[in-house]
A and B are shown apart, each in its own frame.
Chain A
Amino acid sequence: MDYSIPTINLSVIGPEIIILLTAVSVLIIGLFPNYRRWSISIVFIGIIFAFYDIYYLWNLNQVGFDGMVLADNFALLFDIIFLIGTLLTLLLSGNFINQYIRGTGEYLSLILFATLGMMLMASTNDLIVIFLGLETLSISLYILAAFRRSREDSLEAGLKYFLLGAFTTGFLLYGIALIYGSTGTTNIYSILNFLKDGSVEIGILFYIGMILIIVGFGFKAAFVPFHMWVPDVYEGSATPVTAFMSAGVKAASFAVFLRLFITGFSPIISQITGILAVLAILTMTVGNVIAIVQTNIKRMLAYSSIAHAGYILVALTALSRNIESEFSAASIMYYILVYTFMNIGAFGVVIYMEKSEEEVLKISDYAGLGFKKPFAAICMTLFMFSLAGIPPTAGFMGKLYIFSSAVESELYGLAVIGVLNAVIAVYYYLRVVIFMYMKEAVLDFSYLSARPVMALSLSISVGGIIYLGIFPQSLINLLTNIL
């Protein structure tokens, strides 16, 4: 057996390298107090370069490191989603940075490292690299959750997330080990060839491994019954971190699910449609029902994010039933992109509203906001409409695509339960809107000052959900051709 150095094609991992260099240079610049104020500009320049590199790599379908890294359009699309999430989060974290971090680079570089982990997860073809990317992402998030070290709830969030995350990693690794044991490879294409070949019987170990991998990522993407950590971690973390976590981790997990289902496990994936359907129903229903009784807006959004994982899972179930369906895959990607805009946007308004020590977090505190701060209230209304799925926002189109992909795969019951859940969800989203416009103000909002950077982030999110809601067709066409 001869071993040779693989072709090191660095341009394949160009966006990843740019993000890595940015993260490291921000760390180094943090050491020099005179130059610290430049760090945020460097981050934005780095992200813009990464976008440019993605634009350059688009349609080239490059492969590097002996097929271990892919820069196909699927990976690049998810890179774009992750970078949009990062960008929106960073625009929202100005207040948090001034308050807790005072210019040192750790917050910025940890956010970038987490983004890098997500990008690695989306753009690889090997279970080992998926695992390493997930660890990069998770370790960064454990620390970001516990970032406000002086606060007990933040430390609790970090520790809880860490313990459950480490436990999950055990599941995931065990699953990967079982799949390696039964196929002799960790490469997703080789797994596909093994399954197609059919000369070796596919043992029960392979199925257990597959289910353990789904459980592992199910923890990260907050499927019920693996969701227990979500409300506490989302509530305890600083709100920009929560916004980043809720959108990014979910997108990365679903990127891995799509990659695994469409290539690696595709010959046998239809056998677990039932399991996925049960998970989807549980996730939607539990998330929506518990969200109704929440009074804290961060906890409400946490349960709503569980419910949204359930909606995406409906499309994933449809995909597993009919693996050739490009429409199901496209509806998942469309929903993830829309979810990134609307969820980070909703958290953005929460960030704008909260006082320095996170006081204004009850939903009733939003009473009367519509008359005092019309811009924030309009943004919040649109995000709530989009999360609830009311036209003309993109959330409506996303839900429409997801439920029609379920119908297309003849999962009528699942589609009906999904629609019923969407109806339940309207109640608690519209409650926020009702408080903002139909109740007298209890707080005086004089502590709120205009924050142009934050307004920019909110405007981008609003623009995203309105544009994608009115003109979804070009994006859907792009997404159906991506695979």
Chain B
Amino acid sequence: MEFILFYIFGFIAVVSALLIILQKNPIYSAVFLILTLFSVAILFLLLNAQFVAAVQVLVYAGAIMTLFLFAIMLLNIKYEEKAFSKLANLKITGIFVTFVLFIEFMYMIFLRKGLGIAGNISPEKVAEVGNVELIGKILFTKYLFPFEVASLVLLVAMVGVIVLAKKKF
């Protein structure tokens, strides 16, 4: 059952990710991006990561996509198309980087080499303690310092937005 679901949603994720870059109309691309994010969220669910799945839907498919759509509507789309055609000579670089990534993934999948070591938290452990509780515990103990620094990053971003957008100094 899990495998069937994995294949179905993995397939949807890959196909809709392809459709994002193949669409000419940016709004269609954005809608397909939502679809990709949803199917990735379901893949997270299959890995027993319910919290990450919920965050994926709420934050990425919800909040960030709304911003994307706003930005697309506010920009002049015809102009954007022109700008993109100028980037044609970057295609070779893009193809090269994608090729390297592709080889890397094939290497991992088929040779099962260099997969690294498993983490110390097993699915049973997650089921016992609970998903959100575990993340909360780790976040507020081991990763307390990065958690606080992250708030600093948000503060800087907020100050920056106001500096760039306010009417006058």
CB within 8 Å of B: which residues of A?
1, 3-6, 8, 20, 27, 64-66, 68-69, 100-102, 104, 106, 109-110, 113, 116, 120, 126, 128-129, 132-133, 135-136, 139-140, 142-143, 146-147, 149, 158, 181-184, 194, 200-206, 208
- A20 x B107 contact (CB < 8 A): no
Within 8 A of A (CB), among B117-169: 117-121, 125, 137-138, 140-146, 149-150, 152-153, 155-157, 159-160, 162-164, 169
CB distance from B99 to the nearest CB of A (A): 14
Residue of B whose beta carbon sits closest to that of A103: B169
- A5 x B144 contact (CB < 8 A): yes
- A184 x B115 contact (CB < 8 A): no
Distance in angstroms between the alpha carbons of A4 and B142 in the assembled complex: 8
> What 8 A-B pairs come out closest when comparing CB atoms?
A203-B114, A182-B116, A143-B160, A3-B141, A65-B145, A132-B149, A3-B137, A128-B146
Cβ-defined partner of A181 (8 Å) among B116, B141, B142, B157:
B116
Does B113 make an interface contact (CB < 8 A)?
yes
CB-CB under 8 A from B169, the residues of chain A are: 100-102, 104
CB-CB under 8 A from A100, the residues of chain B are: 169
A205 and B116 in contact, given A106-B163, A136-B156 (Cβ under 8 angstroms) = yes
- A113 x B156 contact (CB < 8 A): yes
A183 and B116 in contact, given A135-B153, A143-B163 (Cβ under 8 angstroms) = yes
Does B108 make an interface contact (CB < 8 A)?
yes
Does B104 make an interface contact (CB < 8 A)?
yes
- B108 x A205 contact (CB < 8 A): yes
Within 8 A of A (CB), among B83-116: 104, 107-108, 113-116
- A208 x B104 contact (CB < 8 A): yes
- A1 x B125 contact (CB < 8 A): yes
CB within 8 Å of A: which residues of B?
104, 107-108, 113-121, 125, 137-138, 140-146, 149-150, 152-153, 155-157, 159-160, 162-164, 169
CB-CB under 8 A from A116, the residues of chain B are: 152
Cβ-defined partner of B114 (8 Å) among A5, A101, A201:
A201
Distance in angstroms between the alpha carbons of A204 and B110 in the assembled complex: 14
Distance in angstroms between the alpha carbons of A129 and B156 in the assembled complex: 16
CB-CB under 8 A from B121, the residues of chain A are: 1
- B115 x A203 contact (CB < 8 A): yes
In the complex, 19 of the A-B residue pairs with CB atoms within 8 angstroms, ordered by the A residue number, are A1-B120, A1-B125, A6-B142, A20-B152, A65-B144, A109-B159, A110-B160, A128-B143, A132-B149, A136-B149, A142-B160, A143-B163, A147-B163, A158-B164, A182-B114, A184-B116, A184-B119, A203-B115, A206-B116
Distance in angstroms between the alpha carbons of A107 and B112 in the assembled complex: 51
CB distance from A143 to the nearest CB of B (A): 4
Given contacts A64-B145, A201-B113, 18 further A-B contacts (CB under 8 A): A1-B121, A1-B125, A3-B137, A5-B140, A104-B169, A129-B145, A129-B146, A132-B152, A135-B153, A142-B160, A143-B159, A143-B163, A146-B164, A182-B114, A182-B116, A182-B117, A184-B120, A201-B114
- Count of chain A to chain B residue pairs whose CB atoms are closer than 8 Å in the complex: 111
Distance in angstroms between the alpha carbons of A183 and B115 in the assembled complex: 9
CB-CB under 8 A from A64, the residues of chain B are: 145
Residue of A whose beta carbon sits closest to that of B150: A132
CB-CB under 8 A from A109, the residues of chain B are: 159
CB distance from B92 to the nearest CB of A (A): 14
- A203 x B113 contact (CB < 8 A): yes
- A120 x B141 contact (CB < 8 A): no
- B164 x A129 contact (CB < 8 A): no
Distance in angstroms between the alpha carbons of A146 and B141 in the assembled complex: 38
A129 and B149 in contact, given A1-B125, A104-B169 (Cβ under 8 angstroms) = yes
Distance in angstroms between the alpha carbons of A104 and B159 in the assembled complex: 12
CB-CB under 8 A from B159, the residues of chain A are: 27, 106, 109-110, 113, 143
Q: Considering residues B143, B149, B157, B163, which has the most beta carbons from chain A within 10 angstroms of its beta carbon?
A: B149
CB distance from B119 to the nearest CB of A (A): 6
CB distance from A237 to the nearest CB of B (A): 14
CB-CB under 8 A from A146, the residues of chain B are: 164
- B104 x A120 contact (CB < 8 A): no
- B152 x A136 contact (CB < 8 A): yes
CB distance from B98 to the nearest CB of A (A): 14
CB-CB under 8 A from A158, the residues of chain B are: 164
Residue of A whose beta carbon sits closest to that of B143: A128
CB-CB under 8 A from A143, the residues of chain B are: 159-160, 163-164
- B114 x A139 contact (CB < 8 A): no
A184 and B117 in contact, given A128-B146, A149-B164 (Cβ under 8 angstroms) = yes
CB-CB under 8 A from B125, the residues of chain A are: 1
CB distance from B66 to the nearest CB of A (A): 19
Residue of B whose beta carbon sits closest to that of A194: B117
Residue of B whose beta carbon sits closest to that of A13: B145
CB distance from B93 to the nearest CB of A (A): 10
- A132 x B146 contact (CB < 8 A): yes
CB distance from A460 to the nearest CB of B (A): 28
- B152 x A4 contact (CB < 8 A): no
CB-CB under 8 A from B146, the residues of chain A are: 68, 126, 128-129, 132
CB distance from A72 to the nearest CB of B (A): 16
A3 and B142 in contact, given A140-B156, A184-B116 (Cβ under 8 angstroms) = yes
Distance in angstroms between the alpha carbons of A202 and B157 in the assembled complex: 38
CB-CB under 8 A from A194, the residues of chain B are: 117
CB-CB under 8 A from A4, the residues of chain B are: 141
CB distance from A145 to the nearest CB of B (A): 11
CB-CB under 8 A from A102, the residues of chain B are: 169
CB-CB under 8 A from B164, the residues of chain A are: 143, 146, 149, 158
Distance in angstroms between the alpha carbons of A158 and B157 in the assembled complex: 14
